[in-house]
Structure 1
Amino acid sequence: MDSAGEVLDGHPFVVAHRGASADRPEHTLAAYELALREGADGVECDVRLTRDGHLVCVHDRRIDRTANGTGLVSELTLNELRQYDYGKWHGSWRADGTHGDTGLLTLEKLVELVLDFRRPVKLFIETKHPVRYGALVENKVLALLHRFGIAAPPSADLSRAVVMSFSAAAVWRIRRAAPLLPTVLLGETSRYLAGSAATTVGATAVGPSITTLRDHPELVDRAAAQGRALYCWTVDHYEDVQFCREQGVAWLATNHPGRTKDWLQNGLTEAGRD
């Protein structure tokens, strides 16, 4: 298709949601390295700003759920956040580190990992809102992408990065400052995603959940008619993966990138059943 990506041979591209987050702790180097080994076409992360202005890959406002510590990301410095481990809560964690690094992951480190990988992989960066730092989050993301030379791609199709948000204002800030950078307007409802918001902010793709898409499959055709791709989250079950392929979804985000790639290429096998 266009913008965030195109459908290849009828197969959606597979995005590792927070890395291979079913098998490794989310947003850790271990999760992203596994996702790349498993053949993910893209990787997704959530970013927040620390108190001293660093972009880190953490989903929640607080670190309590995924770290062996407590506190708000926005009230802690990078060094303070680095005191904790972000994988001990997960069943795959090993004290000897055999399953990879589960320390705090910065966006800078993730960009390096993706760009240094042996094949092209897209990085989907979600900025979280509302946050105390407001537009500074998008400004910092763009500054980082500029530093790596990927904020102004020759075309949207060739872009190595995609910026996403549930905040229309955040998408507009990215679109206005980096017009060739693909953007995804995420949303909870079909009414919102099928309305004028995506056009108003210049989003190149829309992003419903699999639940919303199941209820409103017409979102794919509506997006295509407006020149947009469709990014669907979080697609973990075989029937939903097949549904996304049948509907012409461009990108699907999943916690199981390896299994999902196998399903798309080989179909459901006994070993791969839920």
Structure 2
Amino acid sequence: MAIQPMIIAHRGLPKESPENTLAAFRLAIAQGADGIEGDFHLTKDKHIVCIHDSHTARVANKKLIVKDSTLAELQKLDVGYWFNSAFKNEKIPTLEEVLAILPSETKLFLEIKSDPEIVPYLLRILKNNRINLNQLVIISFNSKTLKNVKQQMPELKTLLLLSLKTFNSIKLSSLSAHKLLKKLDDIDADGISTSVSQFLNKNYIYQFIARGYEYHLWTVDNKKIAEKFMKIGINSITTNNLNTIKQIQYSPTTN
């Protein structure tokens, strides 16, 4: 029996607060998100911080390359003022700080942006924090990174990310589910998380579900599109429009 898809807040609540900050995550949690999604990079001194880009130029008044900067250097930056003066002095959070504010009933979709070098540092943090591993979903475009995670901590759920935004019907059909299923088997992932394509349909998605894999979607802000895929029986939708998508009345398609 299909379960109601989780609604995941993309980078927190980025329309009401500066993305990937504790302020954004707290707002999303307060507004009833089933989970939050954040992006994580490894710093020069081997800390893990929450920021989308590989540098700080878009969210601060100074450009620092994350992998070439220390945590202390990065946390001197104000990453809230660019959004609104009300968020002045908001800092780039560490993974530990994000885990610390995560309620026991809320998921964290943790996107690994760094290369596989980050994995041992990530797993060390997870082991040292009293976080329920069932709350975590590790996501990445890098299949090698996900394979490393599974090999070292198989109890963690992993999803392979794939963008379908530029795919037409021919390109999607050539990217056969068979090939992707083989890759998921190889890296021992629990499922796949894709963007939406107008050619993505129930038959394509069901090839994964029928094999026991999860199917997740990002980043869906349109209510009608979200409703269409929720009826199919996907596992989650990541969105910037949390309140709008949460209003959808769930009604799975019957086979």
TM-score with structure 1 setting the length: 0.81
Shift of 1:264: 4.0
Which runs of 4 or more aligned residues in structure 1 lie more than 6 Å from their structure 2 counterparts after TM superposition? Answer: none
1:28-53 CA-partner distances (Å, limit 9, x unpaired): 11110110011000111110011111
SS at match of 1:22: coil
Residue in 2 that maps onto 1:156: none
Q: Which runs of 5+ in 1 are unaligned?
A: 2-6, 154-158, 266-274
Cα distance in 2 for residues equivalent to 1:197 and 1:26:
31
Shift of 1:193: 6.0
Residue in 2 that maps onto 1:124: 109
Cα distance in 2 for residues equivalent to 1:216 and 1:226:
18
Cα distance in 1 for residues equivalent to 2:178 and 2:63:
39
Cα distance in 2 for residues equivalent to 1:104 and 1:72:
13
Residue in 2 that maps onto 1:187: 162
Residue in 2 that maps onto 1:12: 5
Alignment of 1:173-184 (within 5 A): 173-184=148-159
Residue in 1 that maps onto 2:209: 224
1:202-256 CA-partner distances (Å, limit 9, x unpaired): 1101011022xx4122332111111111110001111111112122111110112
CA contact (8 A) 2:50 2:94 kept: yes
Q: Structure 1 residues 108 and 199 mapped into 2: Cα distance closer, same or farther (>3 Å)? A: same
Q: Aligned to 1:72, which of 62, 65, 75?
A: 65
Q: Is 1:136 the counterpart of 2:117 in the alignment? A: yes
CA contact (8 A) 1:193 1:206 kept: no
1:1-23 CA-partner distances (Å, limit 9, x unpaired): 8xxxxx53xx3110111111122
Shift of 1:101: 6.7
Shift of 1:64: 0.3
Q: Structure 1 residues 41 and 140 mapped into 2: Cα distance closer, same or farther (>3 Å)? A: same
Cα distance in 1 for residues equivalent to 2:185 and 2:131:
24
SS at match of 1:210: coil
Aligned sequence identity (%): 30
SS at match of 1:123: strand
Q: Aligned to 1:241, which of 200, 215, 226?
A: 226
1:125-183 CA-partner distances (Å, limit 9, x unpaired): 1111xx4xx322111111111112447x5xxxxx1111111011011001111111100
Shift of 1:194: 4.9
CA contact (8 A) 1:193 1:208 kept: no
- Residue identity opposite 1:161 in structure 2: L
Q: Structure 1 residues 216 and 160 mapped into 2: Cα distance closer, same or farther (>3 Å)? A: same
Q: Is 1:24 the counterpart of 2:23 in the alignment? A: no
Shift of 1:258: 2.4
CA contact (8 A) 1:46 1:58 kept: yes
Give the number of equivalent residue pairs: 239
Q: Structure 1 residues 193 and 29 mapped into 2: Cα distance closer, same or farther (>3 Å)? A: farther
Q: Aligned to 1:43, which of 36, 46, 57?
A: 36
CA contact (8 A) 2:41 2:66 kept: yes
Question: Whose RCO is larger (CA < 8 A, sep 6+)?
Answer: 1
Residue in 2 that maps onto 1:102: 90
Q: Which runs of 5+ in 2 are unaligned?
A: 165-171, 251-255
